[in-house]
Structure 1
Amino acid sequence: MKTILCFGDSLTWGTDAATGGRHAYADRWPTALRSALGPEVEVVAEGLGGRTTAYDDYLADCDRNGARLLPTLLHSHGPLDLVIIMLGTNDMKPMIHGSAIGARQGMKRLVGLIRFHDWGRDATPPQILLVAPPPLCETDNPVFAAMYRGSVAESRLLASVYRDLADELGCSFFDAGTVAETTPLDGTHLDAANTRALGQALAPRVRALLGL
């Protein structure tokens, strides 16, 4: 049995922009990935709305700093064969950081936490797959438009800086923007079809990484 941890934000949790609620279980990308891989793979979905790579959100009702939470999750779900990280969208908020290079540095911090985690005497660090989230798009939603003001162009840089980071650190990389796009309902989240498409598109890459 192989175990995969999907570490992400509301895109991983499955926020539905149309309702403000959550996509059906079958429509979330970790579920689509699990279905494509089959019963011999456990896929653990750890998505939290508002989660950043490594930055504090002092307005949040819970801890959204990915770097602070990741070590505990590694320990509680380990041993792991693969960690998939898809974060950076919330880093684009001007009040958080607002730049792709800031998200890149946060992702680098997360990779270090995985590589140097105390996995135990007989365990080895898992493989790491960095996923660049789909870029933001323009929206008429007044709250989200204000929250991400000026961030659409910056979000389009995430794929290139994450790809370079993956090459630098010896991680795998996938650009979610090649198979999914954000909805103009809020400019940030994925509809059900795009969420499922992401999970299905990740499956061949994961099979190759895990030798399935």
Structure 2
Amino acid sequence: MKTILCFGDSLTWGYDAASLGRHALEDRWPSVLRATLGGNIEVIADGLNGRTTAFDDHLAGADRNGARLLPTVLMTHAPLDLIIIMLGANDMKPWIHGNPVAAKQGMQRLIDIVRGHDYPFDWPAPQILLVAPPAVSRTDNAEFKEMFAGGDEASKRLAPQYSALADEAGCGFFDAGTVATTTPLDGVHLDAQNTRNIGSALAPLVRVMLEL
């Protein structure tokens, strides 16, 4: 049995901008990844709306700071063979920081947590696959336009930053923007087909990393 943890935000949770609800379970990218891989694989989806890499956002009742939550999540689901981290879109909000370099530093913090965690029973740290989310796009949605002001340009620089970090840190890397685009309904989230695209596209890379 191989166990994969998908640690992300609303793109992993499956937020549906059309219904203002949640995509069907079978349409969320972690579910598609599991179905595509087949075999003796467990894929755990841990997505939280608004989650950042390593920064506070007190506008919701949930703790959205990924770095603060990750140690507990790692302990909850250990042992893990692979963790897929797709975060950074919410870092583009101007009141978070809106800076792709800061998001890269946040991802570095998450890598350090995964590799430095005190796992029970001397279990090894999992491999890490960094995923750059699709870039924020222009939208006529007044609220999201303001929430992510400047994010359309800043988020285009996430993939190069994450790719360089993955090379430096010895992690896997995938640019989800090569297979998925955000919906113009809000400029941030994915329709069902685009979130499915990410799960399908990740499967070959996961097979290589886990030697499946």
User: Which TM-score band applies after superposition, normalised by the shorter structure?
Assistant: over 0.9
Q: Match of 1:53?
A: 53
Aligned residues: 212
Coordinate RMSD, CA, aligned: 0.7
Q: Match of 2:122?
A: 122
Q: Match of 1:199?
A: 199
Q: Match of 2:138?
A: 138
Q: What secondary structure does 1:168 align onto? A: helix
Identity of aligned residues (%): 65
- 2:5 maps to 1:2: no
Q: Match of 1:190?
A: 190
Q: Match of 1:170?
A: 170
Structure 1 position 122, deviation (Å):
3.4
Q: Partner letter of residue 169 of structure 2?
A: L
**Counterparts of 1:24 and 1:151 in 2: how far apart (Å)?**
28
Structure 2 counterparts to residues 33-182 of structure 1, below 5 A: 33-182=33-182
Structure 1 position 97, deviation (Å):
1.0
**Counterparts of 2:130 and 2:107 in 1: how far apart (Å)?**
8
Q: Match of 2:13?
A: 13
**Counterparts of 2:26 and 2:169 in 1: how far apart (Å)?**
33
Return structure 1 stretches of 4+ with deviation > 3 angstroms: none
Q: Partner letter of residue 192 of structure 2?
A: A
**Counterparts of 2:54 and 2:60 in 1: how far apart (Å)?**
14
**Deviations, residues 62-94 of structure 1 (Å, cap 9, x unaligned):** 100000000000000000000000000000000
Structure 1 position 120, deviation (Å):
3.0
**Counterparts of 1:6 and 1:123 in 2: how far apart (Å)?**
19
Unmatched tracts of structure 1, length 5 or more: none
